[in-house]
């Protein structure tokens, strides 16, 4: 019995020596997405744990539109991931976030575009972002900080026919819409803080909306 107990303790210590607790958080504030649940999809690409996949792992809702999940990951592994408001491979492109290449860590790590990424550190770590945003999420004593300074909102999303874009400021703003290949399909000057944009000429699919050099958001046309 003593030998069995000793073996168990050594096994636990061995696992803890090579793994780290990583908590992923996402805030849905300002996302413009309609959703019931939030999931994370990811994969360890490089390292001892490189066979590990996460397929639509349910995230636990917290206060103030924040969702979280914790993994025990192998230290030193290279991980790519993204958040999603759907959990079906047939329609996942309609619901997954796409991160702008200006802050796409996975692009730097493995050359993938549109996903987040990190190398698992030696100690327990919390990593948080706003959905489809480069802005990091910080939770202090259960309170979100700093405040979310969104540059614009889209509603509804998914949309059909028209989408309403609400700006936080109007000065010299240009609105650009791109398809998933990066081709510009619509460009206009902002004329009001709240604009109804005609998207009836756009084919069904996923697009990216950018206001001048500010935030980039995903828009789904149905």
Q: Determine what percent of the chain is predicted with pLDDT higher than 70.
A: 73
Tell me the average pLDDT of the chain.
Answer: 78
Q: Which residues of 58-96 are buried (b: 16+ CB within 10 A; e: fewer)?
A: ebeeeeebbbbbebebbbebbbbbbbbbbbeeeebebbb
Residues 44 and 74 in one domain: yes
Residues 140 and 156 in one domain: no
Domain count of the fold of the chain: 2
Helix, strand, coil share of the chain (percent; to 5): 15, 45, 40
Strand 125-130 versus strand 19-27 pairing type: parallel
Residues 186 and 81 in one domain: no
- The predicted-structure confidence for 149-199, as pLDDT tens digits, reads as follows 556 888 887 888 999 998 877 777 889 898 877 788 999 998 888 899 999
Query: 76: pLDDT confidence band, cut at 50, 70 and 90?
Result: confident
Residues 89 and 187 in one domain: no
- The Cα 168–Cα 182 span in angstroms is 25
Residues 23 and 111 in one domain: yes
Residues 133 and 66 in one domain: yes
- The Cα 23–Cα 32 span in angstroms is 24
Residues 163 and 104 in one domain: no
Residues 159 and 82 in one domain: no
The SS3 of residue 37 is coil
Q: Is the pTM for the entire model greater than 0.85?
A: no
Residues 101 and 167 in one domain: no
- Give the pLDDT score at 147: 43
Domain that holds residue 57: 2-144
Query: 67: pLDDT confidence band, cut at 50, 70 and 90?
Result: very high
Q: Which residues of 126-143 are buried (b: 16+ CB within 10 A; e: fewer)?
A: ebbbbbbbbbebebeeee
Residues 30 and 94 in one domain: yes
């Amino acid at each position: 019995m003593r030998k069995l107990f000793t073996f168990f303790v050594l096994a636990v210590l061995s696992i803890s020596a090579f793994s780290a607790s990583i908590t992923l958080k996402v805030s849905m504030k300002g996302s413009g997405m309609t959703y019931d649940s939030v999931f994370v999809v990811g994969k360890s690409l490089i390292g001892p744990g490189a066979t590990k996949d996460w397929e639509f792992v349910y995230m636990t809702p917290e206060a103030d539109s924040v969702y979280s999940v914790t993994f025990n990951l192998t230290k030193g592994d290279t991980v790519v991931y993204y958040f999603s408001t759907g959990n079906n491979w047939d329609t996942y492109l309609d619901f997954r976030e796409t991160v702008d290449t200006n802050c796409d860590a996975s692009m730097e790590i493995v050359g993938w575009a549109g996903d987040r990424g990190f190398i698992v550190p030696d100690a327990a770590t919390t990593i948080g972002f706003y959905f489809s945003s480069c802005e990091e999420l910080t939770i202090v004593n259960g309170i979100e900080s700093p405040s979310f300074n969104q540059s614009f909102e889209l509603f509804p999303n998914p949309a059909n026919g028209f989408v309403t874009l609400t700006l936080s400021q109007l000065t010299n703003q240009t609105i650009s819409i791109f398809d998933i290949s990066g081709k510009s399909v619509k460009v206009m000057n902002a004329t009001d803080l709240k604009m109804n944009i005609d998207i009836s000429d756009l084919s069904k699919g996923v697009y990216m909306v950018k206001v001048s050099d500010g935030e980039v958001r995903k828009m789904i046309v149905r």
